[in-house]
Amino acid sequence: MATKKIRMGMIGGGKNAFIGAIHRAAANMDGLIELVCGAFSSNAQTSIESGIALGLPENRIYASYEEMIQKESQLPSDKRMQFVSIVTPNHAHFAPAMLALENGFNVMLEKPMTFSLDEAKQLKKKVEETGLLLGLAHTYSGYPMVKQAKQMIKENVLGKIRKLYVEYPQGWLSELSEKENNKQAAWRTDPTKSGKAGAMGDIGTHAAHLAEYISGLKITKICADINTIVEGRVLDDDGSVLLKFDNGASGVLIATQVAAGEENNLRINIYGEKGGLEWHQQEPNTLLIKWKDAPAQIYRTGNGYLSSVAKHNTRTPGGHPEGYIEAFANIYRNFALTLNAKIDGETPTPEMLDFPTVDDGVRGMAFIDNVIVSGLLEKKWFDFIE
């Protein structure tokens, strides 16, 4: 296995952009990746200032992503970036990702993957043509206890899965924050930047991905109720979706950003023939297993009884909490390990390959499309008659 660090470039994520700092911290955590260049803002001066603050040489700080990809591709193979992390708003995902792939660079991309389903399919086609890697930052799949839950279902510990509930309530958009100089709120509620969905695109895709990732099932049918609660808002800020899965199981997905008082209370319950499991993102180091004929069990991160895949994604001993940035870092680490294996001509292990890919990105965009279409239909509703 190669010992040199994987060289990363970054598009977006300049000063005052919170997600860029999180991506950089996650990428740096395991010593496998180093940031070597960046185009950190659509504003050239902000990009330069951001790069200097990060200690990059000025000749590796670029005024635009086009300039970065062009100039990096002209550098010797042992100097140029090997992948680019794209942490821009949704509307600015596709063009830099496609240009990077066309120039031979692997890609790590924020979610949802693109602005539209058509763009997502184009990226998938390009990934298949080039054989390059495209990773997707579905952070919550990186938690050790999420991976433990997935492994237990894979091993049929709960029996055939029958029912799934996944909820993602937030409260930060309970008011018209986009009109109050809140930049995060402004672009996430703007259809020209976010796409056709608000809450369902921003956090509903996380919930849908988590349900499919843990259960190993695929959503096949939906029935959605989509709402815009806050007066003056353009995109949805609340919704509920009935789900059907490919094994016959049913489910409910709730995503709202107007649950006043909530932070990021993502939680999931999955029930099989023998029992169920429960996981909460705000207490991510605990997995609760419930049995129909025995006491409930509590699984905790960092213990020897966990699966090999959970251990592979754990850094600290039991009782030392691992959280959001560590989950992010697991995605980057597995991506980097897979890329290193490919560079060395080796076959990546299943543990290395355990990160969201372009296929997850396409399903995420399809989820958005289908949910919004379903939400506009009225025929699913019937008057209650007493």
Q: CA angle 58-6-104, nearest 5°?
A: 85
Q: Are residues 116 and 154 in the same domain?
A: no
DSSP states of 74-112? TS-TTTS-SEEEE-S-GGGSHHHHHHHHHTT-EEEE-SS
Local structure of residue 3 (DSSP, 8 states): -
Average of per-residue pLDDT across 44-68: 96
State the alpha helices, DSSP H only, in the chain: 18-28, 44-53, 65-73, 94-102, 117-130, 144-154, 183-188, 191-194, 199, 205-215, 308-312, 324-343, 358-376
Q: What is the pLDDT of residue 384?
A: 61
Q: Are residues 121 and 192 in the same domain?
A: no
Please give the residue range of the domain that contains residue 342. 6-140+331-356
- pLDDT of residue 351 exceeding 60, the answer is yes
Q: Are residues 285 and 189 in the same domain?
A: yes
pLDDT band at 380 (very low <50, low <70, confident <90, very high): confident
Average of per-residue pLDDT across 52-79: 97
Amino acid at 321: P
Q: Look at the chain and report how many structural domains it folds into.
A: 2
The arrangement of strands across the sheet holding 106-109 comes to 33-39, 6-11, 83-86, 106-109, 134-136
pLDDT band at 385 (very low <50, low <70, confident <90, very high): confident
Tokens of 357: 């890919």
Q: What is the CA radius of gyration of the chain?
A: 21
CATH code, domain with 68: 3.40.50.720
Tokens of 92: 């600015």
Average of per-residue pLDDT across 39-45: 95
Tokens of 263: 């932070």
**Distance (Å, rounded) from C-alpha 105 to C-alpha 65?**
13
pLDDT band at 2 (very low <50, low <70, confident <90, very high): very low
pLDDT band at 381 (very low <50, low <70, confident <90, very high): low
Q: Are residues 297 and 174 in the same domain?
A: yes
pLDDT digit string (tens) for 295-312? 999 999 999 999 999 999
Q: What is the pLDDT of residue 359?
A: 97
When the pLDDT of each residue in the chain is averaged and rounded to a whole number, the result is: 95
pLDDT digit string (tens) for 126-183? 999 999 999 999 999 999 999 999 999 999 999 999 999 999 999 999 999 999 989 9
Q: CA angle 174-176-179, nearest 5°?
A: 150
**Distance (Å, rounded) from C-alpha 240 to C-alpha 305?**
36
Q: What is the pLDDT of residue 4?
A: 83
Q: What is the pLDDT of residue 286?
A: 98
CATH code, domain with 242: 3.30.360.10
By C-alpha distance, which of 98, 88, 108, 94 is closest to 339?
Answer: 108
Q: Are residues 54 and 70 in the same domain?
A: yes
Q: Are residues 79 and 156 in the same domain?
A: no
Q: What is the pLDDT of residue 16?
A: 83
Average of per-residue pLDDT across 106-111: 97
Q: Are residues 223 and 193 in the same domain?
A: yes
Q: Are residues 261 and 371 in the same domain?
A: yes
Q: CA angle 111-71-98, nearest 5°?
A: 30
Q: Are residues 351 and 272 in the same domain?
A: no
Q: What is the pLDDT of residue 382?
A: 66
1 located within any domain: no
